[in-house]
Structure formats: C-alpha cells, structure tokens
Amino acid sequence: MARTVGLGLRVAVTGGSGFLGAHLLARLRPRVELLALARRDLSDGAMRAVGPDVVIHLAAATDPAWCEAHPDRARAANEDLSRRLAHEASKTVNTFVYASTDLVFDGERGNYAETDTPRPISVYGSSKLSGEQAVREVLGERALIVRLSLMYGPRAVSTARESFAETMLARARSGEPVSLFADEYRSPLYVEDAAEHLARLVERPIEPRVVHLGGPEKRSRHEMGVIGLEVFGIPTHFARAGLRGDNAATASRPADVSFDVRRAQSLGMRPRGLREGFEKFRDRMKKT
C-alpha cells in the first residue's frame, strides 16, 4: 500500500495501477492524504485497517468478454469485493465512490440519464450493477455511483492496460487495418478529464448520489477511429467500418449506451469533445 500525505482528507483508492486509476492518483497526491491500495492489499480487513474518510473504488474485472466466460469470478470481483470493502469502510467513510459503467444499460435507445432504469445485457454490465446495489445497501446515501463512458487517451504508467484507442493507433501506424463498429455508440471520455472530475468529487458532497460522466458527444467507435487517426496524422482508410454482428466475441454488445450528461455539466464537469481530447492525447504522447 502506497501512502502520500496531502491536505488531511484520507482517501483510499483501489485499482490505482489501472488505466484510469494511475491518472487519478497523480491528481489526488497534492490534495489529500492518499492511500493507494493495490490488489494484494484488498484482503479481508484491509479497508478497515486504513480507516479512510473517502473511498474511490476502481478495482474491477472490466473485460466484457472475460466476464462472459467467467461469470462467477466476474461477480466475485465486481459485486462481492465491493460489498466487503463497503462493510469494512463503513465505520469511518463519509463517501464511497463506486466507479460503474455505461454498460449497465441495454442500449435500446441511448442518451441515458441518471433516472433511467438500468437493464444490462451482459455479465459484465450485470455484475457492475450488482456492485452498485451492494454498495448502496451497505452505505445508503454515503454511496456515490459514478457511471463512466468509454475512455480513451494515454496510459499514465506503462504497466496499465492499453486503451482501445492506443491499440488502434499502434496497429494503424504499423499499416494494419482496424475494424471498428459503426453501429455501437458511446459518449467517449478523455481519461485525464475522467480523473480530474473524479478527484473533484471527493472535495464536495453532491445529491442525488448518481452521476453519468461521459464526453459531450455521441459517437460510434468507427467515428472515434476516424477522428483519432486524423488528429495523429495517420491515413483514415485504416479505420474500417464493421458491425457488431460481425464480432465473434461472446459478450453481448448494446447498440447505444450514450449518456445524457446534463447533470454532470450542472456540477461543473465539462470534459473535452472528441477531437480536442485526441489533440490532448497527441500532445501528451509527444512529451513522452
């Protein structure tokens, strides 16, 4: 467990070595007393021993295809672990931020608001929704559910898993065409914006206790690919339009889980649009 002393608020973060988590830790370090809990630190009693004021729970099984193939392990990671950590933190925690996903929705219509009823169609989405419910059952109004859309951008640490955008760019640079769904829509979210807005959430209470955090545009994966390649100066013909039905993966894929982000905007959360996000991504890569 890594500890960083900041401004007095004790914030425990799980999943800090992941794609989003590493960016989040970098933003929290100057602001709080930071307790970064690695997977090996999440044994029984670990959160109770830490005694945090705030928990940001990012650790999860996040690969939909893997979850579909291993449903019991997915539920253990996304529901059972979340419930246990919430119980362990319940004596001291003021806010338990549970990072959830747009895939708790069925994708039948898109533009989902916080008041819409989740209807997941995959094991991953179902296990994350169960995690939301578990944390709420234990902590009530101290639970804050933040549903995140598809994120893109650079890794903050080399050990984190690549984002789909990094993989796409690497393949296209090597001259390999990339098939991207033209019939799957999300609200793409630049990862550094996601981290910054999550960091701000620990500084003030909000009501009601669900927020949809996504980018301001509804885009297909193919549209994301074309814009990303344009910004990086890579010929856009490497982004090939595909369809969800062509995919051999076992996980069910909803058609449109774009977000209504007006509530997040009312709270001062204004992530970059897709082109601006890719431009920031490109500039960040030039510095490394």
Is 278 within the bounds of a domain? no
State which residues form the domain around 59: 2-150+190-216+259-271
Is 178 within the bounds of a domain? no
Number of domains in the chain: 1
Q: Which amino acid is at 162?
A: E
Is 249 within the bounds of a domain? no
Query: 208 preceded by cis ω (within 30°)?
Result: yes
Q: Which two tokens stand for residue 126?
A: 């179902």
Position 8 confidence tier, pLDDT thresholds 50, 70, 90: confident
Write down the pLDDT at residue 197.
95
Is 288 within the bounds of a domain? no
Q: Can you list the alpha helix ranges (DSSP code H) found in the chain?
A: 19-28, 46-50, 64-69, 71-75, 81-89, 123-139, 164-173, 191-201, 221-231, 262-266, 274-286
- pLDDT, one tens digit per residue, over 35-85 is 998 877 788 888 888 899 999 999 999 999 999 999 999 999 999 999 999
Write down the pLDDT at residue 250.
55
C-beta neighbour count of 17 within 10 angstroms:
19
Residues in contact with 165: Cβ distance below 8 Å, sequence separation at least 6, in sequence order? 152, 153, 224, 228, 278, 281
pLDDT at 6 over 60: no
Q: For helices 274-286 and 191-201, give the axis angle rounded to 10 degrees.
A: 100
Question: How large is the average pLDDT for residues 129-152?
Answer: 97
Write down the pLDDT at residue 261.
97
Q: Provide the CATH number for the domain around residue 39.
A: 3.40.50.720
- pLDDT, one tens digit per residue, over 167-222 is 999 999 999 999 999 999 999 999 999 999 999 988 777 777 999 999 999 999 99
